[in-house]
Amino acid sequence: MQGTEYFASSAKNKFQTPRKLAKREKVTSPNQLWQMDVKYGYITGTGRFFFQLSAIAVFDRSIVGYHIGLSATAKDACRVLINALKKRGLAPGMKLPVIRTDNGSQFISKLFKETCNTWDIEHERIPVKTPNINAYIESFHAILEDECYKRNEFADFAEVYQIVSEYIDYYNNRRRHSSINYLAPNEFYKSITNGQITGHEMVA
């Protein structure tokens, strides 16, 4: 059952990982620091808003997971996080990324805390009114707004899901970034993990 696969109750939590206040630190490898955030867009055809919750791997800029829906709940945030970890072959007991978020309701929830505790994930939250400390996911969402949301008048939610999903595939696999050797994020990540190239130390 999905609830037991993804989210353990606090009574079953093996770990009690404390939250900490985020501050800038050196990032030297993939899967060291991930950032998560929520943004919203507008469906012109229905007059409704939709929500997107995204997770970015800071070192390689890959969008490792996302949720698109008419709401974005704590359960959605947990599912995005766990699916992203599994996609990268990460599991409890391994060295897992630090997860950095703002203080949105999804991230201050009991469920998100328990999920991080169960997986022994360090969760840090940025101080209020400091989006610059979550700059990489903020930057991605700004790019997404300019290159996808603003260029489309969505007729319905199905169109939102199709177009945004196609854009994320483009972003991950074909859109080149000057800061990662003019490669697309997934290409850069694969080249790093295969030992073909070395990345540059950064502060995030």
N-term to C-term CA, the chain: 37
Overall average pLDDT of the 136-159 stretch: 98
Whether residue 29 lies inside any domain: the answer is no
**0.85 surpassed by pTM:** yes
Overall average pLDDT of the 17-26 stretch: 73
pLDDT at 9 over 80: no
Q: Residue 73 is part of which domain span? A: 37-129+136-203
Whether residue 13 lies inside any domain: the answer is no
pLDDT at 132 over 50: yes
Whether residue 8 lies inside any domain: the answer is no
The 3-state secondary structure of the chain, one letter per residue: CHHHHHCCCHHHCCCCCCCEECCCCEECCCCCEEEEEEEEEEECCCCEEEEEEEEEECCCCCEEEEEEECCCCHHHHHHHHHHHHHHCCCCCCCCCCEEEECCCCCCCCHHHHHHHHHHCCCEEECCCCCHHHHHHHHHHHHHHHHHHHCCCCCCCHHHHHHHHHHHHHHHHHCCCEHHHCCECHHHHHHHHHCCCCCCCCEEC
CATH code for the domain in which residue 118 is found: 3.30.420.10
- Looking at residue 86, its pLDDT comes to 97
pLDDT, tens digit, 9 for 90 and up, residues 152-202: 999 999 999 999 999 999 999 999 999 999 999 999 999 999 989 888 888
Whether residue 146 lies inside any domain: the answer is yes
Overall average pLDDT of the 11-37 stretch: 76
Whether residue 5 lies inside any domain: the answer is no
Report how many domains make up the chain.
1
5 pLDDT band, cuts 50/70/90, is very low
Q: Which residue has the tokens 């996609």?
A: 87
Whether residue 3 lies inside any domain: the answer is no
- Looking at residue 19, its pLDDT comes to 57
Whether residue 4 lies inside any domain: the answer is no
pLDDT at 2 over 60: no
| Higher pLDDT pick, 196 / 6 | 196
pLDDT, tens digit, 9 for 90 and up, residues 44-102: 999 999 999 999 999 999 999 999 999 999 999 999 999 999 999 999 999 999 999 99
Whether residue 82 lies inside any domain: the answer is yes
For the chain, what is the mean pLDDT? 91
- Looking at residue 20, its pLDDT comes to 77
- Looking at residue 8, its pLDDT comes to 45
